[in-house]
Chain A
Amino acid sequence: MRNTNVLILTDDVEFARLLTACWQVERQLPGICVVTSEFWKEADTSSQDLIVIGPLKDGKLADVLRSMEPNTALILCAPSEAKELGLLRKKYPKLLHVPLREDWTQVVLLLAGESLRRTEALKLARQAERHAAQYANQATLGRYMYDMKHNMNNALTSLLGNAELLLLEPGGLSAQSLAQIKTIHTMALRINEVMQRFSSLASELKEGETQSQVETEEVNSSPTPRR
């Protein structure tokens, strides 16, 4: 759960203290920010992966929920009031309710862990999609270059070879023609050098791809949090 952030929103200091303390003994600790309903509107929620809502002052819950994006991952820790929760769930499909019973901290940590892992998996999936799109473009370019390289090499073979054939018998050529053929030969060799550089570019792209794959595998193989 690297680079994940959790916002605890509550007006109950004890709730925030207890939850933070429990989180700190976990192996994987997300970035935690605690705000009260009073400062809620000033908090930056765009960088938060999960919001845990604890007990709030009377009437504040409705205000808070109204100001949230419907897709925000939410855990609401509140006493069970089935009718009200049913309505909230309809409006906020990602809302998870944890009744404030004896073991509520363990339940919140468990749910938060799963929610954050899901968020992280989504981030990785989006990153992989971006890379895939980028590689698809590079692959198209690579295929085009590969096809063209074959044609170019064949054309260069004719250019170089025929120039060499003409240079084998320079006696029949005027000085000007001889100089021109030598220029053709030199330029063909230069184009060949450029083509060789295209080959090394292909190797560099392949190296970059391998490196990126290694990085992705490293992220995926990071240790899972203790339950």
Chain B
Amino acid sequence: MQFSVVENCAERMRVQKKVLIVDDSPAQVKLIQGLLEPEGYWPVGLNDPKRVEEAIAMERPSVILLDVVMPDRNGFQVCRELKSSTEFNSIPVILVTSKDTASDRYWGQQQGADGYVTKPFTREELLRAVRRFA
């Protein structure tokens, strides 16, 4: 039985691409999970931006959806630190944020973000951004 669970998990990992969703709002995480799951992705939610590295090491996601305005550690900061780490810099980071000015986008790029989705987004906009990387 235990063996079967491990096997199922391995099979799921082979078929489904894991997406790490980092957002301090549980409602937003739940929503994005709901939008990604029917498309065959394996979304994993994280509400605490201080534990991003820990979550990546454990989950090994194909792509990270990262909110920007979060307490303690904002998304720009997280992105900058991931992109300067040799261990994590190859994982694509998509900033998903309500900050929608040209300077916000530019600043996101400067931090090394691979994609930028502004809130509110439509399902299509979110999926288009994720499909570019996973």
Contact = CB atoms under 8 A, between A and B. Distances in A.
Interface of A: 149-150, 153-154, 156-162, 164-165, 168, 188, 192, 199
Contact of B119 (A153, A165, A168): A153
A156 B122 CA distance: 10
Given A158-B28, A161-B32, A161-B34, A150 B98 contact: yes
A161 B98 contact: no
Interface in B37-69: 38, 69
B77 interface: no
Nearest to A159: B120
Contacts of A192: 120
Interface string B83-119: 0000000000000001111000000000000000011
A1 B116 CA distance: 53
B100 A199 contact: yes
A164 B120 CA distance: 12
- Give the bracket for the number of chain B residues in contact with chain A: 10 to 19
B123 interface: yes
Name which of A161, A188, A192 has the most chain B CB atoms within 10 A of its CB. Answer: A161
Contact of B98 (A149, A162, A165): A149
Nearest to B123: A164
Contacts of B28: 154, 157-158
A172 B97 CA distance: 32
Nearest to A191: B120
Contact of A157 (B38, B99, B119): B119
Contact of B35 (A153, A161, A188): A161
Nearest to A167: B123
Contacts of B8: none
Contacts of A188: 120
Contacts of B34: 161-162, 165
5 contacts: A153-B118, A156-B119, A157-B98, A161-B32, A161-B34
B54 to A, nearest CB: 25
A162 B32 CA distance: 9
For the complex of A and B, the 8 pairs showing the least CB-CB separation, nearest first, are A153-B98, A156-B120, A161-B31, A157-B120, A157-B119, A164-B123, A153-B119, A150-B98
A156 B31 CA distance: 12
Nearest to A165: B34
B31 A153 contact: no
Contact of B31 (A149, A165, A168, A199): A165
B125 to A, nearest CB: 10
A159 B121 CA distance: 10
Contacts of B25: 154
Interface in B10-41: 25, 27-28, 31-32, 34-35, 38
Given A161-B35, A164-B35, A165-B35, 14 more contacts: A150-B69, A150-B98, A150-B99, A153-B119, A156-B119, A158-B27, A158-B28, A158-B31, A160-B121, A161-B32, A161-B121, A164-B123, A165-B34, A199-B101
